[in-house]
Amino acid sequence: MSFASATIPANPVPTSASLTVAPTTAPTQHYQHIRVAMLAYFGTPIGPYETNLLRKSVDLVIPSLSYLNQIDSVASGTPPMIYTNVSNIYGELLTDWLNYADRKGFNREGAFYHVNKATPFSGDSGSSKPVNWFWSIQRGRDTHGWLDLTQVTKSGAPSGTFAPTGQSIVLGYPEKFHEINLNLKSLGSKTWSAELEYSTARDAQGRPTGWKSLRTLTDTSRGLKKSGTRTFDPPSDWRTSKVTGSDYLYQVRFRTTGIGIRTSRHLRFWPRLRVRSGDYSWDDSRL
């Protein structure tokens, strides 16, 4: 059977606590002796067999959001209940929490379990991202014309180019980072140049409205003249923002200030982080 199933007693024993609820319609119950609830995680096939179960046996379905319309079309009388992760958060759940914590003044680490000694860990899932991938790479100008180049942070991605004069390539990551690594494919025009900047303000929609020059500590790329690494101290006034629909991320940009175009091998950017908590410090890029 493609659904994971659980059973709920038809007449559960009440607790001693008293609770007043508003009147509602009678819950769905296909069998007199039992109620049936089923899970439909993302990736669950919903074929004729599962459709028949939904119509004739299931009293409560707990689906992925992507299945809501499909389930409603075949079993509109079966109530759905949306679930979310509590023990682990990733993707949009992670960035939603980080933005909420920043907005309310909470500690970002407050949603996570922490080890009290160095603990090796390795793991993967279809929803995870390696820590050395930027979450967003966009090329364009402040007002319009953005092109999503996020895939170029991955190894083996197609080549791309830096932005022409008056435009930028913007790199975003959920945490403050202190290093940008890149591989250049060709040198381009001798008059080509770019200013590295970070976002300091955003509007009501989360779009960056202020940028400042980011002071470089070391630059083995010699001003993007060859492949190398640029390091910097994360500024205290660095603020998260959204670029053309991205999550709330810490953004930096290479704003093109000289003519010509410089091409990069896979635009192979990747970040490096310094993370400190109590007496412990480590590089996330080494996980």
Please tell me whether residues 181 and 280 are part of one structural domain.
Answer: yes
- Looking at the structure of the chain, the number of domains it has is 2
Domain boundary among 83, 102, 127: 83
CATH code, domain with 262: 2.60.120
Q: Same domain for 34 and 158?
A: no
Which structural domain range is residue 198 located in? 136-286
Q: Which of 52, 83, 114 is the last residue of a domain?
A: 83
- Is residue 78 domain-shared with residue 140, that is, in the same domain? no
Backbone angles phi, psi at 60, to 5 degrees: -150, 130
Side-chain half-sphere CA neighbours of 68 within 13 A: 7
pTM of the complete model beyond 0.75: no
The residue-averaged pLDDT of 195-202 equals: 96
Residue 251 falls within a domain, yes or no? yes
Grouping H, G, I as helix, E, B as strand and the rest as coil, residue 284 is helix
CB 74 within 8 A of CB 95: no
pLDDT band at 161 (very low <50, low <70, confident <90, very high): confident
Question: Is 107 among the domain residues?
Answer: no
Same domain, 142 and 35: no
pLDDT band at 16 (very low <50, low <70, confident <90, very high): very low
31-81 confidence digits (pLDDT tens) = 888 888 888 888 888 899 999 999 999 999 998 888 889 999 988 888 888
**77 and 144 inside one domain:** no
Could you tell me which residue, 204 or 7, shows the higher pLDDT? Answer: 204
pLDDT exceeds 60 at position 10: no
Q: SS3 breakdown of the chain: % helix, strand, coil, rounded to 5?
A: 15, 30, 55
